[in-house]
Amino acid sequence: MAELVRIELTDEASAAAVAARCAAAVGSAAMPAHVRARVLLKAAEALEAQAEDFARLICREVGKPLKEARREAARGAFTLRWAGEEARRITGEVLPLDLDANSEGRYAMVKRVPRGPALFITPFNFPLNLVAHKVAPAIAVGLPFVLKPDPRGSKTAEKLIGLLVDAGWPAEAAIVVGGPLPAAEALVRDERFRIFSFTGSTAVGWRLKALAVKAQTCLELGGNAAVFVARDADVPWAAARCAWGAFYYSGQVCISVQRIYVEQEVHSEFRRLLVENIKGLVVGDPTDEKTDVGPMIDEKSAIRVEEWLKEAVSHGAKLWTGGPRNGLVIPPSLLEGVPADCRLSCEEAFGPVVTLDAVGSREDALDRMAASRYGLQAGIFTNDLAFVHRAFERLPVGGLIVNDIPSFRSDAMPYGGAKDSGLGREGVRYAIENYTELKTLVVKPN
């Protein structure tokens, strides 16, 4: 593997030096489109060839069950490949300007150009694919970048950047940094960065946005995703999908299923099937091929979720599945009747917990789904097309998934949230639009 440019930030001066170094790499990043595409496609092939190594590294670093880590490696290769294809499709347009007498005889050429150096901050829970979603579009448009991965997943991130450098991306245009938060905040404030993209907690994201005054900003933040199961739904399918979506990677996913609302007529059947599916999940060592639910990322997080569970039960919620915490492991927990002001209802749990409630009408379901400060994605299970369109208009979310869970994401689609769930959209083509700006040439032939 090629030698990476990795710098440990110590203070504001070191952050300023990193920003200057990244800005100086603008020229080396400005490769022709076919070269940028080749870099990404070659890296995708390398990632596919090393997929098992990446999966096992992810499993070791962040405790993700091995079968989910393998899925992340496959998704990461797709993201790189898709970016390589999109690198060849960054086009502009020609506009005739003979729209009034003043513009006769002129036309305009409009093209997309890179905004400038980019700063990316990524979380621990998808240490490969969420890095790919930031750096691959940057390479597609020819942008130098600085990446600050969460230290808990930094080895995976660095291994991915190493593949990209080996594939031909200039090492000086892919700087990986570590260090304390004040030094990272100094990077965010540095006006040489024209793009800032952050994935992480809501509180940190909005604070950093206030510092990135002149940068085009994209924030992918938290959520407490809701699901509605209508009486005309395929109830066994809905129960199976909700059980997986609530507990894969111990719920440490911002689009993990957290709130389930079920139409009264099918509530008992759905609950019975959901409990059966939850009890069928294998809890244990993430390196075991059979494990569905492993440990949480650290003890602090596990203790927090345990406290939230106790709070809900003390306020009258019924615990259908779950049990005492065992170190970093919290058994998959299903609660019913959690009061709206309990943290499991109104905040992001980011743990292996899901709440269930029966609703008397579909309109009540939409009202309760929308009653959240978050708005990332939601899911509805129904065959009523009119209701689907009504839900699409009423729910303040970035994405609505029909007959599946909000945890579904295609790496090609636009992805992002409303309200406190963030700002802007990822997904390769949509990130490319965010990383570029329009430049216009007006021509008046002689």
For the chain, the domains span: 5-221+421-443, 226-414
pLDDT of residue 117: 98
Q: Are strands 418-419 and 422-423 parallel, antiparallel or unpaired?
A: unpaired
Task: In whole angstroms, give the CA distance from residue 86 to residue 370.
Answer: 35
Q: Side chain identity at 281, as an amino acid letter?
A: L
CB 187 within 8 A of CB 147: no
1 confidence band (pLDDT: 50, 70, 90)? low
Q: What is the pLDDT of residues 83-135, one digit of tens each?
A: 999 999 999 999 999 999 999 999 999 999 999 999 999 999 999 999 999 99
226-414 CATH fold:
Aldehyde Dehydrogenase; Chain A, domain 2 (3.40.309)
Task: In whole angstroms, give the CA distance from residue 385 to residue 225.
Answer: 21
Q: What is the pLDDT of residues 191-230, one digit of tens each?
A: 999 999 999 999 999 999 999 999 999 999 999 999 999 9
Task: In whole angstroms, give the CA distance from residue 97 to residue 226.
Answer: 48
Calculate the CA dihedral of residues 182, 197, 247, 332 and round it to 10 degrees.
Answer: 20
Nearest C-alpha neighbor of 123 from the set 186, 180, 197: 197
Which residues are known to be catalytic?
220, 254
Convert 395-405 to b/e letters by CB count within 10 Å (16 or more is b): bebbbbbbbbb
pLDDT of residue 183: 85
Mean pLDDT of the chain: 97
Choose the weakest-confidence range: 97-106, 128-137, 378-387, 419-428: 97-106
Q: Which CATH architecture has domain 5-221+421-443?
A: 3-Layer(aba) Sandwich (3.40)
